[in-house]
Structure 1
Amino acid sequence: MRLLALLLCLGVLQTSTAAAADRAAGAPNVVIIFIDDQGYGDLSCYGSEIAETPRIDSLAAEGMKFTSFYSAYCVCSASRAALLTGCYPPRLSMPGVLGPNSRVGLHPDEVTIADLLKERGYATMCVGKWHVGDRLETLPTAQGFDRYFGLPYSNDMARQKGWGNDSPDLDKIWRQKKWDIYHNDLYRNGESAESPVDQTTLTQRYTEEAVGFIRENKDRPFLLYMPHTMVHVPLFVTDDRWEEDPAKAYRLAVEHVDWSVGEVLDTLEELKLAENTLVIYTSDNGPWLSKRHHAGSAGPLRNGKGTTWEGGMRVPGLFRWPGVIPAGTVTDRVAGTVDLLPTLAEAAGAELPDRPIDGHSLLGLLKDPQAPSPHDEHGLFYYKNGRVEGLRMGRWKLRFGDKNASTVSLYDLDADIGKSHDVAAANPAVLGRLIAIAERYDRDLKANQRPIWTAGK
C-alpha cells in the first residue's frame, strides 16, 4: 500500500512538473464559450439594439472581434463535432442533428481538442450541451474530458407525452415556466444525475460548475469547454431574471448568458489567471428565425439556422488573450470554429492528429490582425446534408443551389453583405476558379472520410 501511495504521489509530481513546464512555455489556459442558436446580430458589440451584453462585449474591447467568423455547420450536432475535431462534418460522417438515445455519435477514435490538451497536462471539463452522442461510448468522458456536467442533447428533445403537438406554445411555456414538460436528463460524467432537470436553473448551475472547475485547477493548465444550452428554445432564466412578457424572453436569456460570462471572467481575474487564459466566445449556428421573438437576429445577413446562407453560419467570434492578442482589434479575415483545434494545438505546443483535418491555425492572425487568413489560400467551405453548398475565399462567396448543385451563384460580400445581388455573370473567371476549388476539395475530403461510431458495431 505504501509503495502504491508513493507511485501515485510520483505520478502527481510528474503531472505537476509537466504543468509547470507548460506554464513556463507560455501555454495558456483555454475557455471556449459556445452558445446555442445565437445570431450574428444578438450582441451589443455586433450592433444589437435589443440586448445589453457588456461582459461579452468586453471580450471584443480587450481582444479581437471577427466579422467573418463561421460555424462549420448550420445546425447543432454537426457544428459541435467540427469544433471539437477541426474537421468538416462529412469527414466525420456526422449528420446534422442527433436525438436522444441515438445509435450513432462522434467516434471515440477521433482526436478532440480535449484529447490534445490532456496530453499536454491540461485538466479538461465540458459544462453544458454536448449533442454529439449520448451513449456512454460517445459522452465527453470518452472524448478526452476528465469531467462532464450538462445535457447530452438539445433541451427541446425529451418532451413528455400528452402535451400539445410538434409545435409547442413557446409563449405559454415561458409564462408558466413549464420546464417539467421536457423530460431532460442532466448528466454528471457518464450517467444521468437528475431527470427531469429544472431548466430555469441551467445557466446558473453551469456557471457554478465552471467557476468551481477553474478554482480547483488554478495551479495547472486547464481547458473549460462551456457549450451553453441557451439560447435554444425553450427559453428559461432564473426566477429573479424572469418577466412574464414572452416577447422579452430572448433578450432576458441572452443577458443571463452575459451574466454567466461575467462570472467566468471575474473568476479568472480574481485568481490572477486572466493574463494567461485564451477566452473564445462563439455560436454553433445562426438564429432559429421561425421561432420569432423566441429567436435572435442575423443582423444584416441573409436567412438563419438550417441554411448555408450567411445568416445560418456566420456567427459572433471573439478572442481574448491579454498580451498576445492586441486589445480592441476588429478583423474581417475569414476564420471559423473548424480552426480552433489547430490554433489551440499550436498555442499549447501539442502535435496535430495523424489524420487529415480541415482547420488551420489562427495564431498568427490573432497576434497580428493584419496577417492573412489561412482561408485566403485554402478557402472555407459550407457543408449541408453531406455535400458542399458554398465556398468563401476572401471577398467572394460561391453558393451552389439548395437542391440542384448545377445552379450556382456568386456574391461579393465586401460590397453586399446581405447577398442580394448575384454577380456570377459579371465574374465568370472567379466563378469558374471557385467551382473548381470546391469540387476538388469535396472529392479529396470524401476520399478520406472516416466512420461515425455506431452502437453494436
Structure 2
Amino acid sequence: MKNILTTLFIAVMIMVGTSVKAADPTKPNVIVIYLDDLGYGDLSAYGATEIETPNIDALANGGLKFTQGYATSSTCTPSRYGLLTGIYPWRNAKAKILPGSAPLIISTQQETLPKMLKRAGYQTAVIGKWHLGLGDGNVDWNGHITPGPNEVGFDEAYILAATQDRTPTVYIDNGYIDGLDPNDPIYVSYEKNFEGEPTGKDNPELTTMKWHHGHNNSIVNGIPRMGFMKGGEAARWSDVDIADHFLSKVKSYVKSHKDSPFFLYYALQQPHVPRTPHPRFVGKSGMGPRGDVIIEADWCIGEFMKTLEEEGVLENTLVVFSSDNGPVLNDGYYDDAVEKLGKHRPTGPFRGGKYSMFEAGTRVPFITYWKGRIKPGVSDAMVCQIDLLASLAKLVGVQAEVNDSKDMLAVLMGKRKKGRKNLVVEANGKTAYRKGNWAMIPAYKGSPMSWHSGVETAIAPEFQLYNLKEDVMQKNNLAESNPKMLNKLMAEFEAIRGTEYGGLK
C-alpha cells in the first residue's frame, strides 16, 4: 500500500509539474526602456559627478554598459523609426521631426520589432511617447485614430501622440483618446489657431512657463505648446503627473502579462521639454527642472525594476536601456537648464548634442541587462539601436527582414567583443560616417549652430575627419593631412548612402 501511495504521489507531482508553464530561457521577456534627449554624460554610471542616478546605474553596473552605443539619429522621430524598423531613417524622407498631426510614417506592410516578436509568440505593448505619426493624414481625433501603433505590431498602445510640448496634449489608448467627453470634442491644427483660443505669443500673461523659441501656440496647464488645440478639456493630461501615469501603466502591464512572453517598449518623456517634474522631485537636483526630471526618470525606472522582481519575472527578462538622441539645454523654454548647469556636462566627453552630427548627437547611454545571463561589465563594441531587430530575431529564433539591422546578439549579451564595422548617423537629414576609430563628416551647406539651441550642428563647407581614439572632442580635423583615409571612408559612405547625400558638390 505504501508503494502504491508513493507511486501515485510521484505521478501527481509529474502532472502538476507539466501543467505549470515554466519560464522559457529562449523566449525571455524583452523590455526597451527609452529616454528622450538624455545625454551620454547625464548618468553617474557614465561619469556624471553633479547628478546621481542610482537606479539606472544599477542596470549599468549589473549588466553591460556600452561606451559606443548609438542612436541612428540626433533627433527623436528618426531614431524611433530606426529602433522599431531596423532601417536607417534617412532612407525614409518622412522620418523627420513630426508635428502632432502628422500621419503614420511606418508602413503597415513593413517589418517591425513588435511584428517580429509577435510571430515568436510574444504579446507586445508600447507605453509612453510615440512621435511616429498617427492616421493617414485626415485624423478623426474624436473617433478611432488609425493607423497607429496597433497597426504596426503592438497589441496594446497607451501613448502620447507626439511629444509633451506638442498638441494634442492627451493620452491615446489603443487608438482612442483616453477620457474624452463626447460632448466636448477635441480639435487639432498645426496650420492656424481656433477662434477665441489664447496662445503663448498673444497671451503671455496666461503662461506659467515662458517660451524662448518655437513654443508659443496653444496654452495648456499654463504651458504654451507647438500646434493649436481646442476642446477635450476632460482628457487633457496633467504635465506633472505624466511620469507617474506611465509608470502605473507599465507596472500594471507587467502584472497582467507576466505568465507569457511579452515585449514592452517603455518610452519615457524625460528630459524632453517642457520639463515638468512632479512636486516631490522639484529642486532635488540643484540644476533646475532638467536635472529634476532626470532624477524623476531614474526613480521611475527603479520602481519599475522593483515590479519586475516582485512579480517574479526579472530573471527571465532582457532589458535594453538607451536614449533617442543626445542632450540639449535650451530647447524652447526658459527653465534654467543653462543657468543652473554648473559643472555638469550632459554631453560627457563629446562635442555636439541634439541636432548634431558630432559624437554627442548620436552616441548615447546604451545598457543591456539580464540578471544571471549577462555578465556585468563594460563593452567598447560599436552597436546601434537598429541592430535590435536582427539581434532579437536571433534570440527568439524567427526570421526577420533585417535590412540595415545587424545581428549583434552575442555582443549585446557580452559574448563577443567586436561590434559593428561601420555606421551611418543622421542629423536633420544630413548624414555622417563612423568606422573603427574614425568619424567622417561630409561638406554641407547650412548653419554651424542649431536653431536657437546653441548646439553645434557639425555643418561646415569643408570635409571633416577625426580620429576619435586620439581626439574624442573632434577638434583636430585631419581631412587635409590624411586624404587617403578621407577618400577611403567617403567611398565606403557613398556605397551605403549613395552619392546623392545632399553634400556640397
Distance 2:410 2:61 in 1: 20
The counterpart of 1:294, out of the listed 337, 340, 356, is 337
CA shift in 2, pair 1:145/1:427, >3 Å: same
Q: CA deviation at 1:418?
A: 0.8
Q: How does 1:413-432 map to 2 (within 5 A)?
A: 413-432=468-487
Shift, 1:288, TM fit: 1.7
The unaligned stretches of length 5 or more in structure 1 are 1-16, 186-191, 447-457
Residues 285 and 292 in structure 2, CA contact (< 8 A), matched pair in contact too: no
Give the 3-state SS of the residue equivalent to 2:157 in structure 1.
Answer: strand
Does residue 405 of structure 2 align to residue 359 of structure 1?
yes
Say if 1:442 and 1:245 are closer, same or farther in 2 by CA, change over 3 A: closer
Question: Shift of residue 293 of structure 1?
Answer: 4.0
* Deviation at residue 122 of structure 1 after TM alignment: 0.9
| In structure 1, C-alpha distance between the alignment counterparts of 2:164 and 2:390, rounded to whole Å | 30
Give how far 1:104 is off.
5.0
CA gap of 1:402–1:426, structure 2 versus 1, over 3 A, is: same
Question: Is 1:315 aligned with 2:351?
Answer: no
1:336 and 2:392 matched: no
Distance 1:184 1:264, change over 3 A: farther
Amino acid across the alignment from 1:147? E
Distance 1:436 1:351 in 2: 31
Q: 1:392 aligns with which of 434, 457, 471?
A: 434
Cα distance, 1:408–1:121 mapped onto 2, change above 3 Å: same
Aligned partners of 2:234, 2:37: CA distance in 1, in Å?
A: 25
- 2:423 equivalent among 380, 393, 396: 380
**Cα distance in 2, alignment partners of residues 184 and 289 from structure 1:** 18
For residues 104 and 286 of structure 2, what CA distance do their matches in structure 1 show? 36
Sort the Cα spacing of 1:27 and 1:444 in 2 relative to 1 into closer, same or farther, 3 A: farther
Map of 1:149 onto structure 2: 158
TM-score with structure 1 setting the length: 0.83
- Cα distance in 1 for partners of 2:257, 2:478 equals 53
* Corresponding residue SS for 1:315: coil
Task: Describe the superposition over 1:125-173 as per-residue Cα deviations: whole angstroms up to 9, x where unpaired.
Answer: 111000001223342111111111121101111288534339x89x952
**1:209 paired to 2:245:** no
In the alignment, what sits opposite 2:198?
Answer: 162
AA aligned to 1:414 is: K
Q: Per-residue deviation at 1:193?
A: 11
SS of the counterpart of 2:40?
coil
Structure 2 match to 1:452:
none
Q: 1:173 aligns with which of 206, 209, 212?
A: 209
Structure 1 residues 308 and 274: CA distance shift in structure 2, 3 A: same
Q: Whose helix proportion is higher, 1 or 2? A: 1
Q: CA separation of 1:222/1:244 partners in 2, compared to 1, >3 Å: closer, same or farther? A: closer
Which residue of 294, 303, 307 corresponds with 1:263?
303
Task: Determine which of 260, 264, 275 is the counterpart of 1:224.
Answer: 264
Deviation at 1:201, TM superposition (A): 0.7
Q: Distance in 2 between matches of 1:445 and 1:152?
A: 33
* SS of structure 1 residue aligned to 2:99: coil
Aligned equivalents of 1:194, 1:131: Cα separation in 2: 22
Instruction: Point out the more displaced range, 153-162 or 60-69.
Output: 153-162
Among 339, 347, 350, the alignment partner of 2:395 is 347
Partners in 1 of 2:104 and 2:262 — Cα distance?
Answer: 29
Over 3 Å counting, the alpha-carbon distance change for 1:244 and 1:395 in structure 2 is closer
Structure 2: gaps (5+ residues): 1-17, 136-144, 170-192, 211-218, 339-344, 446-458
User: Within 1, Cα distance between the matches of 2:92 and 2:404?
Assistant: 11
**SS of the counterpart of 2:318?**
strand
Larger C-alpha radius of gyration, 1 or 2? 2
Kindly provide the amino acid, as one letter, of the partner of residue 350 in structure 2.
Answer: L
Distance in 2 separating the partners of 1:24 and 1:267: 20
State the Cα deviation string for residues 328-379 of structure 1 (Å, max 9, x = none).
x1112111111111111111112112xx611212211123365211x22xx1
1:41 aligns with 41
Pairwise CA distance, 1:254: 0.5
Deviation at 1:184, TM superposition (A): 10
Moved more, 57-66 or 245-254: 245-254
Contact 2:38 2:323 in 1 (8 A): yes
Deviation at 1:101, TM superposition (A): 1.5
| Deviation for aligned residue 1:85 | 0.5
SS of match in other structure, 1:173: coil
C-alpha contact 2:126 2:156 (8 A) present in aligned 1:
yes
Residues 199-243 of structure 1: CA distance to partner in whole angstroms, max 9, x if unpaired?
111111101100111111111000110111121100112222224
**TM-score under structure 2 length normalisation:** 0.75
* In 2, Cα distance between equivalents of 1:442 and 1:44: 36
1:35–1:282 Cα contact (<8 Å) kept? yes
Q: In 2 relative to 1, CA 97–194 (structure 1 residues): closer, same or farther, beyond 3 Å?
A: farther
Q: Which has the higher contact order (CA 8 A, sep 6+)?
A: 1
d(CA) in 2 for partners of 1:238, 1:98: 27
Identity of aligned residues (%): 32
Partner Cα distance (2:86, 2:319) in 1: 18
